Amino acid sequence: MTELLKISLPDGSVREMERGSTPADVAAAIGPGLAKAAIAARVNGELRDINRPFEGDAELALVTSRDEVDALELARHDFAHVLAEAVQSLFPGTQITFGPATEDGFYYDVKAPEGREPFSMDDLPAIEEEMRRIIRADKPLRREAWSRQQLIDKWEADGESFKAQWARELPENEELTVYWSGDDWLDMCRGPHLASTGKLDPDAFKLMRVAGAYWRGDQRNAQLTRIYGTGWLNKKQLNAHLMRLEEAAKRDHRKLGREMDLFHLQEEA
5, 21 Cβ separation under 8 angstroms:
yes
For the entire predicted model, the pTM comes to 0.90
* Per-residue model confidence as pLDDT tens for the chain (269 residues): 568 999 999 999 999 999 999 999 999 999 999 999 999 999 999 999 999 999 999 999 999 999 999 999 999 999 999 999 999 999 999 999 999 999 999 999 999 999 999 999 999 999 999 999 999 999 999 999 999 999 999 999 999 999 999 999 998 888 899 999 999 999 999 999 999 999 999 999 999 999 999 999 999 999 999 999 999 999 999 999 999 999 988 887 666 666 666 655 555 54
CB burial string 246-262: b at 16+ within 10 A, e below: eeeeeeeeeeeeeeeee
Name the residue among 190, 99, 84 with its Cα closest to residue 144. Answer: 190
Length, in residues, of the chain = 269
CATH architecture of the domain covering 5-64: Roll (3.10)
Domain(s) of CATH 3.30.980.10: residues in the chain:
69-233
Measured between alpha carbons, how far is 8 from 25 in angstroms, rounded to an integer? 14
Burial class (CB in 10 A: 0-12, 13-18, 19+), 167: buried
Domain(s) of CATH 3.10.20.30: residues in the chain:
5-64
* Residue range 69-233, CATH number: 3.30.980.10
List phi, psi (to 5°) of 32: -65, -30
pLDDT score for 1:
53
pLDDT score for 257:
66
